[in-house]
Structure 1
Amino acid sequence: MEETIFALATARGKAGLAVIRISGPNAVPVLSALGGKVPAPRSSRLCVLRDGTRGVLDHALVLYFAEGASFTDEDVVELHLHGSIAIVQAVIAAILDTGLARMAGPGEFTRRALMNERLDLTQVQGLSDMIDAETEVQRRHALRVFGGEMSEQVAEWRVKLIRAAALLEATIDFAEEDTPEDVEPEVRALLENVIGDLRRASKGFGAARTLRDGFEVALIGAPNAGKSSLLNRLTGSDAAIVSKVAGTTRDIIEVRMNIDGMLILILDTAGLRHTEDEVESIGVTRARARAKDADLRIFLHEEEVPEPPFDLLTEEDLIVRTKVDVRGGSGISNVTGEGIEELVEKIGAVAERRVDAASLFSRERDRASLENAVLSLEETRLMDLPVEVQVASIRNAVMHLADIIGAFDVEFVLDDIFRSFCIGK
């Protein structure tokens, strides 16, 4: 935290603009060493940047954010350069030559924002999800978390629990005196309210994770049922090999697509059949396992009367007849496109119903904290327990909730979060 760090904050490669961000106590001295003059806080200035030999590096727009008013809460200087690969490399080399700053690691700017209490842990997670967002629904969900909605919810629960603990502690402190009222009804109401909220948040964890990671749709069926052709038709690609030879697809092929702002992962799986081919048999086993774990299964068949694998299917899964351009009847045709739009709408409707139940909590560690908090609060329902034990259980629940926002030791989760960050973020 005492060192000054810098990194390219925009994508590498040729572009119209490149931004190098410098953060730390030497941010301004680095700019001075490059021949630039610091602008007024939260304003910009055009500067000619020079290397150690006074050679011109670039004509850059320089922005300055003073300590206490920047993303990291430190002095921050941004160099807005022309987006030439050569210019960026030359400026980076010149900054290193000053000896005043070092290259930042992945997520290190955000780590400093967290350590300097500009963000809490939930906002860091929301920022990570914003960076990874591919669809509109993902963007909106991540923005809610980054905007502090998750933190506010946790804070509301903590206030209620602290109130309940305080009321119980009052009965201990004034055990030998007359208290103005029975605190038990209010304590019970507070605890039941929080327990209900925690359970709903935990129940929506799976949907939230699906929203973040993608809604998986497994295409299953016998060989040559049209799974690979449907994958290619849906995604407008040639991701899967289409052949009349049974057993062509032996491994799972995954293609991403956007349906109504949601990330949908289409899985093409090996044809379900008994086979003596050892490699194909492994593919069939993998196909069944992956299909079972998917969010939705679409069983494709050519026959007029299908024989679905009911051990894999649920009530919400779809059974669809293919090749209706040749065989007639209702269903889909990967050749003419008949029924494809309707099928996409059905997939989108199922995915939308699932993600509508999504909570703000989508990380496994958050789910564990929620469930541990519920377990602690459940102990307070045992009315024969001493009041001191009930208070301790409530305080344990408060600590579990504090873990979500990073109020306690969070070092064990930081590396996992920041691993997905860009170097300059």
Structure 2
Amino acid sequence: MNDTIYAPATGAGRAAVAVVRVSGPCAADAVRALAGDLPKPRRAALRRLVRDEVALDEALVLWFPGPASYTGEDAAEFHVHGGRAVVEGVLDALAAKGLRLAEPGEFTRRAFENGKLDLTQAEGVADLIDAETDAQRRQALGQLGGALSQRYDAWRGLLVQALAMLEAAVDFPDEELPEDVAARARPGLEALEAEIAAALVEASRGRRVRDGFRVALIGAPNAGKSTLLNALAERDAAIVTSTPGTTRDIIEVALTLGGYKTLLADTAGLRETEDAIEAEGVRRARAWAAEADLRLWVIDAAMFHVKQADEASAILPGDWAVINKIDLVDAYRLEELRAEFGARGLKVIELAARKPGGAEPARRALTAHVVDALSGAEFPAATRIRHAESLSEAQSYLQRALSDVSLEVELAAEDVRLAARALSRITGRIDPEDVLDRVFSSFCIGK
């Protein structure tokens, strides 16, 4: 980190204002070269930016001497007019002074390496930038504020306390210590193992808030899946025709339901087919449906026959049966279908998707379901897969330690130490380089 980096911190394209960031030991020299002198720390000052006696722009310049900056290094920002020629002129001037264009996420990586953020907070920065819904914003802001860090640090503190007891029993067997000093570590370890187990049970909630709740529309050809998708999306996202097999690939639409991101997927009609392209669409439909959080089995009320329902094999307990085209059948037929799907343990939704407002029963039910699945009083203990992987690893070490604590104290102590290390990897206290690369590679250039 001996070099000085620069990058645009705002998106490309024409805008009223663009921000160019600089961080590193030569940041002050870069400001003096372009703006003439350094503004007062953390005070915006209007400066004329000049390169080789040629004016580049009238800009606001901010100076952040380290360590009181985002990266912990000397840093500066140039708030210039957002025209492409202006931004490129400033970037070229910085490059001519020997500064290096930043890599994706390098500013935040430097903040991490200088102790300004831990890894979970750095991930919160990335999630906040990508947030599309209010729920994603709240979760990312909480993570940036240290909600995850505080929980992991508290758990790590409990492990250190238990480890102290175990190591005392190992290292000082002849000292006047209580005979049950090692056993005293057990209650704390048991309580922590239970907390981590509970966290793993609900770990998917944080990831689904971040990535979206996945809903698959499945069913036979011409059941009305594409019509329902378009009605819920309130636009023509999928082609609707009377020809069976029109939808051959996955069509995903992002919705916001109850403040939460929801990914709705229209899939190929599930049926046996000799058409190679349609068969591939059916395979992809089954694969997407298998990974979804909820499957809506869309049924043509007028055409459904139990013995012909091959699509039932893709349905799992807790899924829904959406009886479509109810305007084409009588009350007796509807009651027959309700009984059939109720006996299968499926939640039944009845609608006529092609009618104006016909999809509202599905929208209301989906909104309530997504809110119930993703809302929670507590901040989730894991918002990414790597968090859950490390929690699972820590849990396995704790379980092994609990089995050894009464017999092989040395082994139990080592397992507790490994569990603490697994938790530390989440916040980045002792993270290997490849984990850092994995975290920061998803960032945009100027962050």
TM-score grouping bracket, smaller chain normalisation: over 0.9
CA contact (8 A) 1:58 1:81 kept: yes
Write the distance in 1 (CA, Å) between the matches of 2:305 and 2:42.
Answer: 67
Write the distance in 1 (CA, Å) between the matches of 2:120 and 2:243.
Answer: 50
CA contact (8 A) 1:145 1:360 kept: no
For 1:351, the equivalent position in structure 2 comes to 370
Write the distance in 2 (CA, Å) between the matches of 1:420 and 1:363.
Answer: 13
CA contact (8 A) 1:274 1:281 kept: yes
For 2:38, the equivalent position in structure 1 comes to 38
User: In the TM superposition, what are the counterparts of 1:17-416 in structure 2 within 5 Å?
Assistant: 17-52=17-52, 54-99=53-98, 101-180=99-178, 182-184=180-182, 186-303=184-301, 307=306, 309-327=311-329, 331-356=350-375, 359-382=380-403, 383-416=405-438
Deviates more, 1:27-36 or 1:252-261: 27-36
TM-score by length of 2: 0.90
CA contact (8 A) 1:219 1:267 kept: yes
Q: How far did 1:386 drift?
A: 2.2
In structure 2, relative to structure 1, the CA distance for the partners of 1:416 and 1:177 (3 Å cut) is closer
Q: How far did 1:226 drift?
A: 0.9
CA contact (8 A) 1:18 1:80 kept: yes
Q: How far did 1:394 drift?
A: 0.9
Root mean square deviation, CA, Å = 1.9
In structure 2, relative to structure 1, the CA distance for the partners of 1:171 and 1:327 (3 Å cut) is same
Q: How far did 1:328 drift?
A: 6.0
Listed as ranges, the gaps of 5+ residues in structure 1 are: none
In structure 2, give the amino acid aligned to 1:340.
A
Partner SS, residue 276 of structure 1: coil
Write the distance in 2 (CA, Å) between the matches of 1:411 and 1:285.
Answer: 38
Write the distance in 2 (CA, Å) between the matches of 1:414 and 1:337.
Answer: 51
For residues 356-375 of structure 1, give each alpha carbon's deviation from its aligned partner in whole angstroms, at most 9, with x where no partner exists. 46823132222221111111
Write the distance in 2 (CA, Å) between the matches of 1:349 and 1:81.
Answer: 45
For residues 1-22 of structure 1, give each alpha carbon's deviation from its aligned partner in whole angstroms, at most 9, with x where no partner exists. 1111111101111111111111
In structure 1, give the amino acid aligned to 2:65.
A
Write the distance in 1 (CA, Å) between the matches of 2:61 and 2:305.
Answer: 67
Write the distance in 1 (CA, Å) between the matches of 2:97 and 2:37.
Answer: 16
For 2:346, the equivalent position in structure 1 comes to none
Write the distance in 1 (CA, Å) between the matches of 2:58 and 2:75.
Answer: 19
CA contact (8 A) 1:122 1:405 kept: yes
Partner SS, residue 43 of structure 1: coil
Partner SS, residue 380 of structure 1: helix
In structure 2, relative to structure 1, the CA distance for the partners of 1:26 and 1:110 (3 Å cut) is same
Write the distance in 2 (CA, Å) between the matches of 1:290 and 1:35.
Answer: 55
Write the distance in 1 (CA, Å) between the matches of 2:316 and 2:362.
Answer: 17
Partner SS, residue 351 of structure 1: helix
Partner SS, residue 172 of structure 1: helix
Q: How far did 1:207 drift?
A: 2.3
In structure 2, give the amino acid aligned to 1:61.
L
Q: How far did 1:62 drift?
A: 0.6
In structure 2, give the amino acid aligned to 1:342.
P
CA contact (8 A) 1:141 1:360 kept: no
Partner SS, residue 423 of structure 2: helix
CA contact (8 A) 2:222 2:244 kept: yes
Q: How far did 1:391 drift?
A: 1.2
In structure 2, relative to structure 1, the CA distance for the partners of 1:168 and 1:417 (3 Å cut) is closer
In structure 1, give the amino acid aligned to 2:24.
G
CA contact (8 A) 1:72 1:118 kept: yes
For 2:341, the equivalent position in structure 1 comes to none
Deviates more, 1:400-409 or 1:300-309: 300-309
Write the distance in 2 (CA, Å) between the matches of 1:174 and 1:34.
Answer: 64
In structure 2, relative to structure 1, the CA distance for the partners of 1:362 and 1:283 (3 Å cut) is same
Partner SS, residue 312 of structure 2: coil
Identity of aligned residues (%): 44
Q: Kindly tell me the number of residue pairs found equivalent between the two proteins.
A: 423
CA contact (8 A) 2:119 2:426 kept: yes
Q: How far did 1:141 drift?
A: 1.2
Partner SS, residue 381 of structure 1: helix
CA contact (8 A) 2:182 2:409 kept: no
Listed as ranges, the gaps of 5+ residues in structure 2 are: 335-349
> Is 1:422 the counterpart of 2:437 in the alignment?
no
Write the distance in 1 (CA, Å) between the matches of 2:179 and 2:36.
Answer: 69
Write the distance in 2 (CA, Å) between the matches of 1:403 and 1:166.
Answer: 21
Partner SS, residue 354 of structure 1: helix
Write the distance in 2 (CA, Å) between the matches of 1:190 and 1:293.
Answer: 36
In structure 2, give the amino acid aligned to 1:373.
A
TM-score by length of 1: 0.94
In structure 2, give the amino acid aligned to 1:14.
R
